[in-house]
Amino acid sequence: MTALLLITADDLLLDELLRLAAAAGAAPEVARDLSTALRAWSRAPAVVVGADLLVGLARMGPPRRDAVHVVGWGSAGEDVFRAGLAVGAEHVVELPDGASWLTTLLTDLGDDPGGRGLTLGVLSGSGGAGATTFACALGQAAADIGPALVVDADPLGPGVDRVLGMEEKPGVRWPDLAHTAGRLGSRSLREALPRRGALGALSWAPGAAGRAAMPDPVAVREVLSAAARGHQTVVLDLPRGAGSAELIGRCDEVLVVVTPSITGIASAARLVDSLVDRGGGLGADSGQIALVVRGTGVSPDAIARTVGLPVRATMTDQRGLAEAIDLGLGPLRSRRGPLARATAEALSLCRVRAVAA
């Protein structure tokens, strides 16, 4: 299936669009008249409409669809914006100034099909619960299936790149993306990050000087949006403090790691209550938040009743965990054992829930 439908009768505009599509690796289908455009309108994953045919297309009333973009030379007039609204266009791009932005957009069309990837948040129910370790293990397990990314959203945490053994890998870190403006290409982000095979890591620059508060919320939203478009699974290592609600709102599901002790359960219950009180799209019965129990002691059923959330997975302590991390292998050194079983179970249930939603 073609990744892009170009609708224009303007030869100069078509030449420019074909050039940009080739640079982006997108495979276009061209419609030079409105009847051809309407036949291909619904089957193409994305549509770029030249301003020269836009008004006529709007009069024909094509069915509403996503991923429609309008492109023309110079400043767009009021009639172009009005017709763009009529066909459900997401953007009006003015060439030549918008050529770079359009190339980035077309580059995304070369990514693996399937739309936005699954975004999971991992949050520590109490200090020392092991949320960062579990987030990194989730990322390693997800990378066995397809492109995955672990995002360090906690500036005060141990660093997902260190836990995954990627602190010496070259690539961009949060400080490099702090001033991101406009649309960020998913393929560009994926290729720029430190990686090992199918797994990438977005963390902080090495050393204390590289640690800072999270970037501007607009930049964070754009980075996470590009990450979800370019990866099958994105795992966020979330902070416990203020500011987590915005990040939680970007997640399909949030997993709270709980230690089965009286203090661990009490801390997790207070944390969950505070998240529900602050909002962020969470409710006690929303199904967007669940528990992962690490260790033995209080039964999972009792923990679920106390905290008021379902348990997605349980695990006993993993032997050799610290050694695996110190060796730079990441927490999931073996695809067998308590941690491997817990990550597989959590991923499977979260994917089933995401599909059902």
- The pLDDT tens digits of the residues spanning 299-334 come to 999 999 999 999 999 999 888 899 999 999 999 988
> Do 209 and 91 share a domain, yes or no?
no
8 A C-beta contact, residue 260 and residue 293 = yes
Residue 113 in any domain: the answer is no
> Do 172 and 95 share a domain, yes or no?
no
Alpha-carbon gap, residue 119 to 227, rounded angstroms = 9
CA-to-CA dists, residue 202 to 4, 177, 229, 308, 357, angstroms: 30, 10, 15, 32, 28
- Residue 197: pLDDT band (50, 70, 90) is very high
> Do 265 and 302 share a domain, yes or no?
yes
What is the CATH number for 251? 3.40.50.300
Residue 58 in any domain: the answer is yes
Residue 92 in any domain: the answer is yes
Is 83 buried (19+), middle (13-18) or exposed (0-12) by CB count in 10 A?
buried
> Do 151 and 98 share a domain, yes or no?
no
8 A C-beta contact, residue 36 and residue 6 = no
Give the end of a domain, one of 53, 83, 108: 108
Residue 193 in any domain: the answer is yes
- Residue 111: pLDDT band (50, 70, 90) is low
- Residue 128: pLDDT band (50, 70, 90) is confident
8 A C-beta contact, residue 293 and residue 300 = yes
Region of poorest pLDDT, from 184-193, 255-264, 277-286, 323-332: 277-286
Region of poorest pLDDT, from 77-81, 214-218, 224-228, 281-285: 281-285
pLDDT value of residue 280:
46
> Do 101 and 123 share a domain, yes or no?
no
Per-residue pLDDT for 26 more than 80? no
> Do 122 and 249 share a domain, yes or no?
yes
Residue 78 in any domain: the answer is yes
* Closest to 189 in 3D by CA, of 163, 226, 161: 226
> Do 178 and 123 share a domain, yes or no?
yes
- Residue 153: pLDDT band (50, 70, 90) is very high
> Do 46 and 95 share a domain, yes or no?
yes
Residue 341 in any domain: the answer is yes
Please tell me the total count of domains within the chain: 2
Give the end of a domain, one of 56, 90, 108: 108
> Do 160 and 277 share a domain, yes or no?
yes
Residue 153 in any domain: the answer is yes
Q: Which pTM value belongs to this model?
A: 0.73
Range of 256's domain?
A: 118-356
Handedness of CA 86, 88, 90, 94 (dihedral sign): negative
Give the end of a domain, one of 58, 90, 108: 108
pLDDT value of residue 171:
93
> Do 122 and 92 share a domain, yes or no?
no
> Do 142 and 194 share a domain, yes or no?
yes
What is the CATH number for 53? 3.40.50.2300
Query: Position of tokens 């129910």?
Result: 125
Residue 214 in any domain: the answer is yes
Give the number of other CB atoms < 10 A from CB of residue 226. 22
pLDDT value of residue 206:
72
> Do 130 and 89 share a domain, yes or no?
no
Alpha-carbon gap, residue 256 to 270, rounded angstroms = 12
List Cβ neighbours of 126 (8 Å cut-off, separation of 6 or more).
258, 259, 263, 264, 267, 268, 271
